[in-house]
Amino acid sequence: MYSLVIFGASGDLTSRKLIPALYNLFRKNRLPQPIRIIGFSRTPMEDETWRNKLLETTRQFTGNLFCETTWSTFAPCLYYHAGDIGNTDSFTSLSALLNQFEKEHQSEVTETHRLFYFSTSPQFYAAGTEQLGVTGLSTESLGHTCRVVIEKPFGTDLESAKKLNENIHQRFDESQIYRIDHYLGKETVNNILVLRFANAIFEPIWNRNYIQNIQITANENLLIGRRAPYYEKAGILRDMFQNHLLQILTFVTMEPPARFDAKAIRDEKVKVLQSIRPFTEEEVLQNSVRGQYRSYRDESGVKKDSQTATYGAVRLFIDNWRWKDVPVFLRSGKGMPCRSTQVVINFRQPPHSMFSGTLSDLMLQGNRLLLQLQPAEGIQVHFMTKIPDTEMKIRTSELNFNFKNSFSGEMPDSYERLLLDAIHGDASLFARSDEVEAAWRIIDPIQKTWDEGKMPDPEFYESGSTGPVQADRWIESFDENWFDLCPLV
């Protein structure tokens, strides 16, 4: 018997992502049975009222995958429990409800699995896990598991992340904790592991001898809109770098794990994060730039003199044998010309050019491997070819692989993968406590230098442009260029 409790049942994430993902898993027969999904929030509501609300939002967010008949068999799994996350009585009654469900099914199944999903504001994570502990809901026994899933942001800096880890560890063992980063549920992010470790041709050249630089970009055309109260405090580093960009970086740069299991993978990720050179203030000034889209200060809830960055670029170095002196550029911005998350591996030029002194030599470029993570999911290899019917003139050509053309069906949303893994107790795609802390250790000095006014103010850029002009000059100062591609669709 599986019970999934969602704290923050009336929030946006629940209706936009969690319930549609659970509905899709149910539709594909992937959800274990029997299962109860219990929404927990303050507003008193009948089960039926919650189901009706979710019917509308799930229809909206699953689009043409929605089917009334399937919904009518899924909806009876949904229950609602009104409660206050800081109140012991609310958890005692929740516990009684879970016991009752399990009793109803005890003749069919003896094992019981409970998953508590914190989709609340982060300030409630500690209080909620504490109440689960107080009421005995965190205790596992033979044939009975209890897990917590914690949404991002996990802390706002190293100190708060450590404190939160300490609080949760008072009630839950690390093996019960699933810290979610939805980028790790994206098929194309997982495909980085397959590309690197299920093929023999890439790994031998995946190092400082062949790679000149790595660029990881997560750009969005979205503006901040209604999220200003959160975003004003977070900014681009906390919102995108500490989690999503560094997670992608670990997949691109970690050593091959011995096995595809949670410990082996997470050990390698932590090792690479710990090898990233921590910056002094002086180094932050040299190795980062920031910007703000011009209309940001007009958004409701944003201070008129806000220094919050909506664009950032950082140059990191991984001090280990594989990556010594290979710059890794991370970049993310809101209000960009298009949504595009990509990894660009820029290879070195051939060590010696036989075309030296000719026009061809001038056209020679290093090879490039482009991993388009979203939205036009695919992989491209850029290489030099001779232009037919010319003297020895050359230019860059592309080999293009596109998931859409090669596989049928819709790309699943990342929450489907992650919810299923958490339900089944596979933590490979969730961040461990030391991993989260290692990521904050990298971001903290940058954020601190930015916050303390040691940097020039964020440069304004027009929304829809490619970001601050300074970001181009900055990368050019290292004799590099951004490789940009608005996605091929």
Q: Which residues of the chain form contacts with ligand BG6 (CB under 6 A)?
A: 152, 182, 220, 222, 239, 341
- Smallest gap from Cβ 218 to ligand BG6, in A, equals 6
CB of 239 to ligand BG6, least distance (A): 5
Residues 6+ apart with CB under 8 A from 423: 2, 4, 31, 32, 113, 115
Least Cβ distance, residue 235 to ligand BG6 (angstroms): 10
Identify which of residues 182 and 432 has a Cβ nearer to ligand BG6 in the complex. 182
For ligand BG6, the closer of residues 140 and 220 by Cβ is: 220
Residue 333: CB minimum distance to ligand BG6, A: 11
Active site includes 352?
A: no
In sequence order, which residues have a C-beta less than 8 Å from that of residue 418 and are 6 or more positions away? 180, 182, 184, 185, 429, 430
In terms of CB distance, is 146 or 224 closer to ligand BG6? 224
Q: What are phi and psi of 346, to 5 degrees?
A: -95, 115
What's the token pair of residue 132?
A: 């689960």
Give the shortest CB-341-to-ligand BG6 separation in angstroms.
6
Between 293 and 474, name the residue whose CB sits nearer to ligand BG6.
Answer: 293
Q: How far apart are CA 118 and CA 18, in angstroms?
A: 11
Q: Which of 137, 108, 103 is nearest to 33 (CA)?
A: 108
Tell me which residue has its CB nearest to ligand BG6: 239
CA distance 418 to 424: 10
Distances (CA, A) of 417 to 30, 38, 267, 432: 10, 20, 21, 18
Count of CA atoms in the C-beta half-sphere (13 A) of 300 = 2
Sheet of 368-374, strands arranged across: 394-402, 378-386, 368-374, 340-347, 211-219, 328-333, 311-316, 288-293, 459-461
Q: In the complex, what is the shortest distance from the CB of residue 43 to ligand BG6, in angstroms, rounded to a whole number?
A: 24
Nearest distance from residue 242's CB to ligand BG6, in Å?
10
β-strands 112-118, 2-7 pairing = parallel
Nearest to 3 by CA among 76, 97, 121, 126: 97
Relative orientation angle of helices 414-424 and 187-197, to the nearest 10 degrees? 70
Residue of 81, 113, 182, 244 marked catalytic:
244
Q: Between 169 and 297, whose beta carbon lies closer to ligand BG6?
A: 297
β-bridge partners, 211: 347
| Residue 399, helix vs strand vs coil | strand
Q: Quick one: 131 or 340, whose CB is closer to ligand BG6?
A: 340
Sorted by sequence, the CB contacts under 8 Å of residue 471 that are 6+ apart come out as 289, 291, 311, 313, 331, 482
Q: Which is nearer to ligand BG6, 113 or 152 (CB)?
A: 152
- Cα–Cα distance for residue pair 13/97, rounded to 1 Å: 24
Q: Token digits for 222?
A: 């979205």
Contact 54, 20 (CB under 8 A): no
Instruction: Decide whether 195 or 228 has the Cβ nearer to ligand BG6.
Output: 228
Residues recognised as catalytic: 244
